[in-house]
């Protein structure tokens, strides 16, 4: 028995703790502070950038605390969970009284409360009490969902009410906050933010996550059909556009051209145009010039596939390509690398800068090689994000707008009209209350009193 009482007391203390407004203030302050820190410290940057910015000691400290990916850290999620529980418990703790007011079938009116109302209006009517009962009941009950007439010894009362449900407006706002927090929590746990580079004509089915670098499988495939880039007169990129196709179960289901700020959305996954670049070309036209005869020959070459040199001069294999190649502290720009093997089997690595066709002639070998032409292969850089909690977030915003409208612009109105008297003269009391907008209620009471006075 004592153990049961002790457990019940402990559970009650936990309940009271989570129903505390102080806990709400603490959690909101903590979330605000961490959000400020998350703004000051860039999120999901490269480790080298953090190391350079903060040094080794602070880098290790911040990294251990999860400050570089704060919104996916365990402690930030814990704050969201605690705030959600706190709001739910606070709402339940205070809802019981409001629930009884809202969902009662026969609301109670305390006459003394309305008689002592300093906004009450009193006047005399030159008519018997019974003759006023029907017109006063009709006038007072107009526009109210609930009204009743109660007779007593010297007269009658008309009690009317509407908008009891508006007292739930604040709980609607609480619900919206819970939806927002749950949506953010689901997005933090199950959402992803990654990137992928797709060469024109190729397909991907996974992305590389920003916060961990791990591969994340997509529920469909994305193929880059085409890529184009336009430039300003200064040479700066003006617009880059990717034509993408979503493939599901081997069939194309969506085609869309995307540009910056105009993403493709499919099944809750967003595909943004983020960057672009060039990849090693698939095929290059090379010019081989014989040092002995001076004759030049053009041959197509593919990286990794050797080609035979003319005149039995050996073979050549294209090995790679770099967008920028530094040679003796000089930037050669786009440069191809290859291995030239002569007829005796001696191999030599050579460089072929695109903008310097005569570069290899300085080697003074039996053959010189230069790049005659190639078609650049573009890739499109995509940012791909998924957030399964976004629908809850949108729902939270909608519910919050509705809740705020109810809370600030609608009110619970109660009207009380009491008529007493003897003979041909009656005394009339017009009173009422409003959960908000008392000035509007005063105007309503004054207008009703004028109407009742005229009808008498």
Residue 59's contacts (CB-CB under 8 Å, 6 or more residues apart) are: 47, 50, 51
Closest CA to 94 of 5, 18, 162, 28: 18
Residue with tokens 């967003």: 270
Residue 165's contacts (CB-CB under 8 Å, 6 or more residues apart) are: 102
Cβ neighbour number for residue 40 with a 10 Å cutoff = 8
Strand, helix or coil for residue 133: helix
Q: Backbone phi, then psi, for 98, in 5-degree steps?
A: -65, -40
Query: Is 312:341 a contact under the CB 8 Å cutoff?
Result: no
Rounded CA-CA distance 316/371 in Å is 13
Numbers of helices and strands, H then E, in the chain? 9, 22
pLDDT for 343 equals 85
Please provide the DSSP assignment of 153-218 as one string: TTEEEEEEEE-GGGGGHHHHHHHHHHHHHHHHHHHHHH-EEEEEEEETT-EEEEEEETTT--EEEE
Q: How far is CA 365 from CA 347, 348, 415, in A?
A: 12, 10, 107
Rounded CA-CA distance 287/81 in Å is 67
pLDDT for 282 equals 76
Q: CATH for 104-163+411-455?
A: 3.30.160
Kindly provide the b/e burial profile for residues 94-115, where b requires at least 16 CB atoms within 10 angstroms of the residue's own CB: ebeeeeeebeeeeeebeeeebe
- Helix or strand run (H / E) with residue 124: strand 121-125
**Running along the chain, 456 residues long, what does each successive block of 10 average in pLDDT?**
63 86 92 88 83 88 87 90 93 86 86 92 92 92 90 92 92 94 91 91 91 86 91 79 93 93 92 86 89 88 90 90 87 91 90 92 90 86 92 95 93 94 90 91 93 83
Q: How far is CA 290 from the centre of its chain?
A: 63
Rounded CA-CA distance 237/239 in Å is 6
Strand, helix or coil for residue 33: helix
- Outline where 268-345 has alpha helix (H): none
Please provide the DSSP assignment of 73-87 as one string: SHHHHHHHHHHHHHH
Rounded CA-CA distance 394/289 in Å is 67
- For the chain, the straight-line distance linking the first and the last C-alpha, in angstroms and rounded, comes to 68
- Helix or strand run (H / E) with residue 341: strand 335-341
List the chain domain ranges.
2-99, 104-163+411-455, 192-279+379-386, 284-373
Q: Backbone phi, then psi, for 220, in 5-degree steps?
A: -155, 175
Q: Backbone phi, then psi, for 157, in 5-degree steps?
A: -125, 145
């Amino acid at each position: 028995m004592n153990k049961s009482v002790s457990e019940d007391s402990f559970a009650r203390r936990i309940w009271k703790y989570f129903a505390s407004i102080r806990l709400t203030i603490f959690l909101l302050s903590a979330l605000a502070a961490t959000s400020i820190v998350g703004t000051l410290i860039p999120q999901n940057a490269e480790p080298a950038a953090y190391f350079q910015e903060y040094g080794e000691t602070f880098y290790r400290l911040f990294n251990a605390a999860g400050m570089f990916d704060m919104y996916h850290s365990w402690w930030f999620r814990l704050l969201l969970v605690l705030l959600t529980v706190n709001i739910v418990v606070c709402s339940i703790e205070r809802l019981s009284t409001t629930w009884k007011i809202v969902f009662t079938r026969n609301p109670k009116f305390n006459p003394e409360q309305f008689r002592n109302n300093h906004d009450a209006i009193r006047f005399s009517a030159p008519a018997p009490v019974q003759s006023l009962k029907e017109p006063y009941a009709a006038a007072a009950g107009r526009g109210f969902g609930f009204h009743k007439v109660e007779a007593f010894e010297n007269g009658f009362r008309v009690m009317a009410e509407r908008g009891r449900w508006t007292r739930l407006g604040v709980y609607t706002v609480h619900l919206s906050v819970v939806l927002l927090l749950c949506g953010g929590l689901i997005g933090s746990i199950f959402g992803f933010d990654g990137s992928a580079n797709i060469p024109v004509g190729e397909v991907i089915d996974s992305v590389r996550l920003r916060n961990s670098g791990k591969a994340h499988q997509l529920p469909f495939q994305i193929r880059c059909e085409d890529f184009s880039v336009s430039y300003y007169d200064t040479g700066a990129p003006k617009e880059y556009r990717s034509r993408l196709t979503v493939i599901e179960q081997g069939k194309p289901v969506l085609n869309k051209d995307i540009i910056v700020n105009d993403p493709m959305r499919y099944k809750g996954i967003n595909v943004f145009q983020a960057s672009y670049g060039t990849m090693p070309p698939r095929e290059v036209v090379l010019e081989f010039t014989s040092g002995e005869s001076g004759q030049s020959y053009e041959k197509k070459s593919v990286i990794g596939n050797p080609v035979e040199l003319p005149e039995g001069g050996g073979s050549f294999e294209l090995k790679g390509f770099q967008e920028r190649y530094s040679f003796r502290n000089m930037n050669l720009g786009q440069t191809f690398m290859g291995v030239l093997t002569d007829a005796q089997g001696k191999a030599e690595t050579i460089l072929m800068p695109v903008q310097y066709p005569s570069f290899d002639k300085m080697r003074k070998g039996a053959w010189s090689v230069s790049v005659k032409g190639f078609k650049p292969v573009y890739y499109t850089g995509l940012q791909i994000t998924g957030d399964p909690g976004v629908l809850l977030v949108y729902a939270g915003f909608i519910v919050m707008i509705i809740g705020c409208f109810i809370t600030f612009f609608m009110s619970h109105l109660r009207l009380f009209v009491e008529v007493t008297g003897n003979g041909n003269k009656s005394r009339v009391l017009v009173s009422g209350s409003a959960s908000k907008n008392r000035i509007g209620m005063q105007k309503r009471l004054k207008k009703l009193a004028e109407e009742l006075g005229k009808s008498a």
